[in-house]
């Protein structure tokens, strides 16, 4: 307990205000315990809904909660309108607690409680008592002992995990059966992990491609977007034609279209379990013909909402109720102890209790919707963002500020490696718009030439001189094998850095850059110019007007490489896949606004020896939004044919893009052609300059470029064994598949 008997608790008011209030500590419940909270968990989906409802107008609240309106009308009939309105007013003025899943240390025990003693670590639950507060009064059966090896922040997930576990138990599935989990919010992802731990095969469905990536880490074999084409066919193929044995529906809404897909994906006499608050309506004939069994999972398990169980401590005998809510708590904690339920991929944020109001205030913002599990820590520990080892976003780095603060805006530019490409394609767009400080080339002659041509203050051959002052931005245009080294030096110096593609050549270098960026005030932009091309911008607008998923054919007529060119040396270039195909990986991610899910490549003529020299490759790519792309990168062909050709197929639309200079859109039986002059280099430099001036956000944050680089490595790795390789920098290739 706290010394003065007063604690802080998070409170939400019905007008939308959220505050940390000083309130008296709770009383010790009969037969229960007092717990000093060490961690609690925000479930963004559930608690965002509460915030949204609190901020609604009175009319909107009435529409959202007709059950409450009926209560008001009943009060008016029995007590009169004045009393009814006064009751509504009091309700709107009264604060409500938030939170229902926490962990802490026992500080007091009622004499009727024999299960716990002072000093025990416990996981606790209950929307009536396990709030976001410094001290909690918990009845005995809503607490479970935390075993050794489970940290407090993990134990704080116990109640949420028990909701998912109860859904799994209601499905009644066994080893080897197949289950579709619809909705990959926190409860859905926990269900995916628990099913996987039980030896059940899992497919995951969600609208958010990022959450589907986490679902794969949690054990999902197949991921699908809820709005993609032919999800039923995909699930039927995955289930060998039978349909899935069960569906756990963990989404907050149940659109008719989605429910048709859900029922169609079930096998005959399959089970549909609703986990949560979705108002599910099935089409009678479809469900009848399959003899679907519909079940509802009630919160944490048997005992929930039973006052005699929860508050009077009357446990259900195990011979009559094998799994109660308390025994579900214990089972979830055991999974955490053994490592079978990994919570790190779900933990997108860890915040100090003193800062939690800001989390709630931002809960409705688009960026905040990326959160899955938010752990609140009660104590002196500082806020920790994206803890090390989170596999959900293996390439997560320190966020770039929306606008570069005045103190970080560079006063000039150093250039390391001003070869022909940099002199021709980049520096002309920067000249006169930012002071040129030093140019560093490998030979003094070339450095002096660039100095005089572009008006640099100094010319030198020592690259270390470029990475000393955070007051100077740096542009890196060296050969590829030096890119990672120079990027790391720029980050160490807190500089704003532009590096021509590729970012780096190995996964080890990628991890080093990620770690360096996590602690640096500097930033990195990679020269993926094609995403900045005006033709790309116009094509994305066309695609937004057409329903996806899309099919895209990319034909790259790269031509033969001069064997004397440094690009022909994989030790310096990384090979053409890593050094050039990365452009098209980035372009595909940009136009689709989705991540690479899998890749199946092959080569025209496999070579012996160093496979990095491969330069004629065809690959089938699947993205997390359900889109497919075929990438053909060829060193054969004729130079008279366009170098880069793309065809995009959407609903009622075909778009043809040639060399980023000509875009033809076919729609409605008509064609429209637009021509362009830029391939994106000028626009790329303008966007970077705007960021350096503090006029615009970073145009291509490092996390985006790292995801592209990882996807390119996936393709290169898959070529080594020509296997179907799931995307993601930290996922292992299937050797010998």
Over residues 506-523, mean pLDDT: 92
Greatest Cα pair distance, the chain, in angstroms, is: 95
Q: Which CATH superfamily is domain 168-298 in?
A: NAD(P)-binding Rossmann-like Domain (3.40.50.720)
137-177 tens-digit pLDDT: 999 999 999 999 999 999 999 999 999 999 999 999 999 99
Name which of 383-387, 514-518, 574-578 the model is least confident about.
Answer: 383-387
Instruction: Reply yes or no on domain 6-157+343-385 having CATH 3.90.180.10.
Output: yes
Q: What confidence score (pLDDT) does residue 395 get?
A: 43
CA 118 to chain centre: 40
531-682+701-726 fold:
Dihydrodipicolinate Reductase; domain 2 (3.30.360)
- Whether 724 shows a pLDDT value over 50: the answer reads no
Strands 523-526, 143-145: pairing is unpaired
Q: Which residues contact 266 (CB under 8 A, 6 or more apart)?
A: 243, 244, 245, 246, 247, 272, 290, 292
Structure tokens, 85: 């309105």
Over residues 196-223, mean pLDDT: 93
- Strand, coil or helix: what is 703? helix
Torsion of CA 505, 506, 510, 513, to 10 degrees: -60
Over residues 643-663, mean pLDDT: 95
4-38 tens-digit pLDDT: 678 999 988 877 788 898 888 898 999 999 999 99
Q: How confident is the model at residue 561 (pLDDT cuts 50, 70, 90)?
A: confident
83-137 tens-digit pLDDT: 666 666 555 656 788 999 999 999 999 999 999 999 999 999 999 999 999 999 9
φ, ψ (nearest 5 deg) of residue 267: -75, 170
So where are the chain's domains? 6-157+343-385, 168-298, 406-526, 531-682+701-726
Name which of 129-143, 592-606, 654-668 the model is least confident about.
Answer: 592-606
Q: Which residues contact 641 (CB under 8 A, 6 or more apart)?
A: 557
In 10 A of CB 144, how many CB atoms?
26
- Strand, coil or helix: what is 282? coil
Q: What confidence score (pLDDT) does residue 71 get?
A: 65
Number of H helices and number of E strands within the chain?
25, 32
Q: How confident is the model at residue 719 (pLDDT cuts 50, 70, 90)?
A: confident
- Whether 393 shows a pLDDT value over 50: the answer reads no
Does 6-157+343-385 match 531-682+701-726 in CATH topology?
no
- DSSP secondary structure letters along 581-626: IHHHHHHHHHHHT--EEEEEEEESS--SS-GGG---EEEEEEETTS
- β-pair partners for 663: 657, 674
Assess contact for 256 and 287: CB atoms under 8 A. no
Assess contact for 382 and 354: CB atoms under 8 A. no
Structure tokens, 281: 């309506």
Q: Which CATH superfamily is domain 406-526 in?
A: NAD(P)-binding Rossmann-like Domain (3.40.50.720)
From CA 376, how far away is CA 362, in angstroms rounded? 15
- Whether 577 shows a pLDDT value over 60: the answer reads yes
Q: What confidence score (pLDDT) does residue 51 get?
A: 61
């Amino acid at each position: 307990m706290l010394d003065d008997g007063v604690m802080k608790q998070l409170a939400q008011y019905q007008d939308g205000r959220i505050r940390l209030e000083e309130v008296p500590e709770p009383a010790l419940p009969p037969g229960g315990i007092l717990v000093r909270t060490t961690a609690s968990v925000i479930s963004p989906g559930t608690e965002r809904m509460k915030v949204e409802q609190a901020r609604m107008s009175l009319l909107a609240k009435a529409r959202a909660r007709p059950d409450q309106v009926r209560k008001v009308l009943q009060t008016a009939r029995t007590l009169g309108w004045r009393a009814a309105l006064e009751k509504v007013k009091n309700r709107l003025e009264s604060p409500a607690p938030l939170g229902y899943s926490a962990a802490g240390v026992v500080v007091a025990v009622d004499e009727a409680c024999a299960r716990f003693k002072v000093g025990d670590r416990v996981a606790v639950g209950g929307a009536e008592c396990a709030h976001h507060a410094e001290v909690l009064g918990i009845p005995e059966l809503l607490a479970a002992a935390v075993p050794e090896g489970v940290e407090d922040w993990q134990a704080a997930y116990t109640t949420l995990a028990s909701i998912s576990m109860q859904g799994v138990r209601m499905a009644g599935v066994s080893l080897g059966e197949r289950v579709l989990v619809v909705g990959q919010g926190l409860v859905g992802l926990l269900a995916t992990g628990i099913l996987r731990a039980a030896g059940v095969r899992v497919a995951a469905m969600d609208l958010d491609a990022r959450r589907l990536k986490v679902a794969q880490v949690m054990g999902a074999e197949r991921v699908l977007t809820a709005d993609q084409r032919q999800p039923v066919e995909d699930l039927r193929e995955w289930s060998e034609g039978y349909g899935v044995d069960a569906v756990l529906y963990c989404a907050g809404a149940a659109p008719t279209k989605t429910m048709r897909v859900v029922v169609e994906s079930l096998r005959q006499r399959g089970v549909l379990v609703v986990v949560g608050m979705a108002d599910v309506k099935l089409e009678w004939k479809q469900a009848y013909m399959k003899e679907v069994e519909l079940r509802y999972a009630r919160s944490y398990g048997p005992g929930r909402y039973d006052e005699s169980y929860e508050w009077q401590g009357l446990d259900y005998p195990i011979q009559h109720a094998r799994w109660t809510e308390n025994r579900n708590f214990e089972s979830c904690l055991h999974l955490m102890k053994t490592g079978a339920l990994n919570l790190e991929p779900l933990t997108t944020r860890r915040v100090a209790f003193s800062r939690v109001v800001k989390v709630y205030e931002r809960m409705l913002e688009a960026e905040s919707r990326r959160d899955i599990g938010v752990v609140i820590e009660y104590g002196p520990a500082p806020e920790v963002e994206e803890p090390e080892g989170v596999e959900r976003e293996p390439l997560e780095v320190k966020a770039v500020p929306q606008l570069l603060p005045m103190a970080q805006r560079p006063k000039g530019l150093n250039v390391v490696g001003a070869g022909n490409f940099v002199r021709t394609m980049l520096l002309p767009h920067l000249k006169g718009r930012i002071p040129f400080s030093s140019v560093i080339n490998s030979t003094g002659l070339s450095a002096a030439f660039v100095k005089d041509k572009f008006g640099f203050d100094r010319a030198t051959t020592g690259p270390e001189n470029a990475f000393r002052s955070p007051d100077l931005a740096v542009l890196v245009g060296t050969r590829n094998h030096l890119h990672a080294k120079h990027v790391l030096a720029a980050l160490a110096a807190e500089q704003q850095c532009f590096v021509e593609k590729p970012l780096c050549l190995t996964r080890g270098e990628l991890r080093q850059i990620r770690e360096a960026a996590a602690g640096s005030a500097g930033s990195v932009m990679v020269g993926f110019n094609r995403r900045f091309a005006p033709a790309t911008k116009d094509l994305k607008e066309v695609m937004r007007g057409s329903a996806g998923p899309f099919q895209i054919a990319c034909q790259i007529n790269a031509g033969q490489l001069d064997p004397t060119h440094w690009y022909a040396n994989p030790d310096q270039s990384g090979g053409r896949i890593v050094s050039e195909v990365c452009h098209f990986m980035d372009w595909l991610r940009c136009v689709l606004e989705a991540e690479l899910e899998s890749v199946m490549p092959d080569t025209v003529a496999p070579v012996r020896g160093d496979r990095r020299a491969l330069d004629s490759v065809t690959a089938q790519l699947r993205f997390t939004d359900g889109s497919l792309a075929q990438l053909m990168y060829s060193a054969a062909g004729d130079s008279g044919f366009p170098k880069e050709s793309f065809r995009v197929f959407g609903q009622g639309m075909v778009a043809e893009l040639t060399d980023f200079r000509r875009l033809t859109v076919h729609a409605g039986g008509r064609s429209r052609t637009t021509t362009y002059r830029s391939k994106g280099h000028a626009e790329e430099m303008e966007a970077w300059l705007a960021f350096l001036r503090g006029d615009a956000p970073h145009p291509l944050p490092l996390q985006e470029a790292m995801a592209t680089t990882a996807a390119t490595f996936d393709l290169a790795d898959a070529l080594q064994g020509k296997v179907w390789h799931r995307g993601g920098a930290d996922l292992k290739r299937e050797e010998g598949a």
